[in-house]
Structure 1
């Protein structure tokens, strides 16, 4: 949006012109003296009317109206008379010889200023003179607002309550002189209108064009609440690709990777994406160790499979119980016997799509309350881990005999465990919980393999935590906020005991 302290000015400057040619000045002076002697009396009277100076020096400034008071007019007549008589006397000397006096330069300056300083310019000029006044002539001395040097003979500008050499009135951005009739002003800094637009008019981060104005003339754009990605409103319905993990829109100079099931992944999320069941096993076992570190050990060996989107949706349809996060479910704690197609070999990237994926049908039999945990493939390590932490909590509750919990209570406490695990990965010192980074998958970056994380991965983790905290759904959003408040107040163990006895969170 346009800056609040910006003015766009049309025809802002008063243009003046000092006479710089000696021949022209002499010619005009002789005409003026001749006129004085023709119409003057014995006392050199001008019959009460000041001369009108016409020519190049009056291109911008015009003569005043006859409303000047008599006292001011008399002063000008006296000055004109003195200058004319002095020059006429010098012209009578032989061989053009002139005796220099201390007042010659002052008289010349006074004459020059009388030619160039009218009272009523076409545009209001500055009403003050930064240079002050001459000591001898008591006439204003102009100084340039750019170089601070006196403005001598030649062209000048009057704007922004100052005078300028034309070459000194420059754009604050590109430092080139401003010669157009319009310019933008931000604070005390002038800009070319094009430079100001380039600096301050927001650009779309998808198409890289200036964001257009709406029907009311206002700049209207959309912005992601976490990433602050600004983009044109039209990209929300023009089929612009959005990353299925971080939700950022695809820019026109960077193609996302298509996962082949309607989802796409940006390059930052792709760096740590987990693509097959084998890749996910180390992460799965590290999260089980995380549970054990909190005295919540899971004794049963629950199978974990990475599956495609279609296979996960089919498994959800075959599941009789459970509450699922719509519109996109990314994980499932399966309690029914089913045959599921899992990903056994990670695909390779060809262009902007995945190639060579290998799947295998696997029959899942029920050996306990939990048949298997299914997770959507192709998601970054931290997002995959948060889904596993959530689904493992569902399994822990069923194995420990927590029955008939409301969706808000069960999904809420599962989201708390997901959030806590992310917190231990992104900010391991926050709850004094051990990080599971050391057991990362083979698809993660080298920094993750060494137990560290890049700033990009940490930022992704913060985004996933923000998604959980800001979820607007009743079960996952409100349930998490109530459960998290209870855990922060009473601790996880006391909260779980209260849920077992009452089926609700402690207040």
Structure 2
């Protein structure tokens, strides 16, 4: 099954980078020249000329001083601008390799409106960014609501963020190591994702030995340890919750699927032994089977027609130190040939729904052999078996309570009812995943065969499709 690769720049959100600059102005104030004269009634007329001359002299001195102050202020502003531009030229801000030049210095005229508080900014410090003006304390991060005092900031939509706050919100984290997914050599964030669970993880985890659950195929997070089965397979704790671990535990499920077949008018008359086995025993039995098709590289079920001695799991093992399976008890089981099918073997340690779908598949192999369907191509036989597995999963998911909709019988064991009654939300999701696996299989026999068989069943029905297969060895078009 192929994995999806995702590459994007910074985030799936639209990102832009910006800078802001604080504007300074000295609060220099000077007095306006006075244009009023004191009352002169107490002066003699001959002193009026002297008073006017003195007033004009003082006025000229004030004007000269004002010009001198303005010149000094202009020099201070030019010096401040030169200093700021010098600092910017030494270390311009950068993001993804692009340098942002500072905005030219602006000085408040006293009539600018702050975009944050909608009040007049007045003289003094202010910021010019995002096509607006701000009091320094009003330009705040949309995430933490604290003022942004850094030289650079990030944006999502029309909202500014501290670069650290933006990263925490929008930069993807690895579901395995819980760290920010690093950028590649081109500065782009690259990660892997499971096509069904959408679990995101660093590409390096595909090569560092991080295990996957043998059932749901999710990668093992660093803070959660999977159970290790005796054959080296890893099982997550959620899949372990409904896992079937020995032959006796599987019998109620076997009866449930037999009822499912009876509800489809496809009762299997012969009693076919069902055995839960380890991987090694399954592989050995597969090598001794002359006929039959196998889904490599991992075979999880087998319908036997040859006489063999098979090692079956007698009692459920326990979990010991280090989350490892211990005390596996097995016994040999001698298969004798009473009909075209001698036994059905299922790999132990898989969740109930996966075990059931494998069992429904293998029981279809048994039904075809017992009903005289001979020399079918691998695509047709495996395809129609996958159709029955898919139908059983569908009935389990739709029913909700676990009672299959195809069955005409309402009887079931207490053990089976208990398993079904405790169906969790994850188990229902797991059923959808196993259906997804069947539907998206890329192999010619199991994938293409299923899609051709399912299309025929949906168009013509199951029984007409089976009749056509028996007559022609192909699916109806």
TM range (shorter): 0.7 to 0.9
Q: Kindly tell me: are residues 366 and 166 of structure 1, through their superposed partners in 2, closer, same or farther at Cα, counting changes over 3 Å?
A: same
The answer on 1:164 being equivalent to 2:134 is yes
Aligned-partner Cα distance in 2 for 1:301–1:253: 46
User: CA offset at residue 154 of structure 1?
Assistant: 4.0
Secondary structure of 1:255's counterpart equals coil
Partner of residue 406 from structure 2, selected from 422, 433, 452: 433
Q: Contact conserved, 1:306 with 1:343, CA < 8 A, in 2?
A: yes
Distance change (3 Å), C-alpha of 1:292 and 1:45: closer
Measure, in 1, the Cα distance between the counterparts of 2:21 and 2:288. Answer: 81
Q: Does 1:53 align with 2:73?
A: yes
Q: Distance in 2 between matches of 1:38 and 1:436?
A: 113
Matches within 5 A, 1:248-397: 248-351=218-321, 352-397=323-368
After TM superposition, the score normalised by the length of structure 1 is 0.77
Residue 13 (structure 1) aligned with residue 15 (structure 2): no
- Tell me if structure 2 keeps the 8 A contact 1:271–1:445: no
Offset at 1:449? Answer: 4.1
Match of 2:103 among 111, 123, 127: 123
| 1:501 alignment partner in structure 2 | 471
**Higher RCO, Cα 8 Å, sep 6+:** 2
| Residues 410, 467 of structure 1: alpha-carbon distance in 2 compared, 3 angstrom cutoff | same
Matched position secondary structure for 2:189: coil
Partner of 1:158: helix, strand, or coil? Answer: strand
Partner Cα separation in structure 1 for residue 62 and residue 224 of structure 2 = 83
- Asked if the contact 1:425–1:436 (Cα under 8 Å) also holds between the matched residues in 2, the reply is no
Deviations 1:344-384 (A, max 9, x none): 11011224111222111111111110000000000000000
Q: Alpha carbons of 1:381 and 1:440: their partners in 2 closer, same or farther (altered >3 Å)?
A: farther
The worse-fitting range, judged by mean Cα deviation, of 463-472 and 158-167 is: 158-167
CA 445–246 in structure 1, closer or farther in 2 if over 3 Å, else same: farther
Q: Is the 8 A contact 1:274 1:441 kept in 2?
A: no
How is 1:454-473 mapped onto 2 (pairs within 5 angstroms)?
A: 454-473=424-443
What is the number of residues matched between the two proteins? Answer: 424
Shift of 1:453: 2.4
Q: How far apart, in 2, do the equivalents of 1:60 and 1:149 lie?
A: 27
| 3-state secondary structure, aligned to 1:390 | helix
The offset of 1:200, in angstroms, is 1.1
Question: For 1:144-155, what aligned pairs fall within 5 Å after superposition?
Answer: 144-155=114-125
Is 1:19–1:56's contact at 8 Å kept on the other side of the alignment? Answer: no
SS of the residue 1:460 aligns to:
helix
Structure 1 residue 195: deviation in Å? 1.0
8 A contact 2:15–2:154 mirrored in 1: yes
In structure 2, what is the equivalent of residue 79 of structure 1? none
- State the alpha-carbon separation in 1 of the partners of residues 378 and 437 from structure 2: 19
Question: Which secondary structure does the structure 2 equivalent of 1:375 belong to?
Answer: strand
Q: Pick one of 370, 374, 377 that aligns with 1:403.
A: 374
Structure 1 unaligned segments of length 5 or more: list them.
Answer: 63-120, 130-138
Partner of 1:78: none
| Ranges in structure 2 where 5+ consecutive residues have no aligned partner | 1-7, 35-55, 83-100
Give, in whole Å, the separation in 1 of the partners of 2:31 and 2:249: 95
C-alpha displacement at 1:342, in angstroms? 0.4
Kept after mapping to 1: 8 A contact 2:21/2:151: no
1:279 and 1:441 in contact (8 A); partners too: no
Aligned mates of 2:131, 2:81 — CA distance in 1: 17
The corresponding residue for 2:38 is none
Q: CA contact under 8 A between 1:287 and 1:436: conserved in structure 2? A: no
Q: Which residue of 1 aligns with 2:95?
A: none
Alignment-derived partner of residue 384 in structure 2: 413
SS across alignment from 2:334: strand
Could you tell me how far apart the structure 2 residues matched to 1:199 and 1:395 are?
54
User: 2: distance between equivalents of 1:270 and 1:227?
Assistant: 18
Distance 1:423 1:219 in 2: 38
2: distance between equivalents of 1:158 and 1:436?
A: 76
TM-score of the superposed pair, with normalisation by structure 2: 0.82
SS in 1 for 2:313: strand
RMSD across aligned positions (CA): 3.2
Could you report, residue by residue, the CA deviation over 1:84-105 in whole angstroms, capped at 9, with x for unpaired residues?
A: xxxxxxxxxxxxxxxxxxxxxx
Moved runs in structure 1, 4+ residues, more than 6 A? Answer: 27-30, 33-36, 44-47, 55-59, 435-438
Residue 46 of structure 2 is matched in structure 1 by none
- Bigger CA drift: 235-244 or 349-358? 349-358
Q: What is the CA-CA distance between 1:484 and the residue it aligns to?
A: 0.3
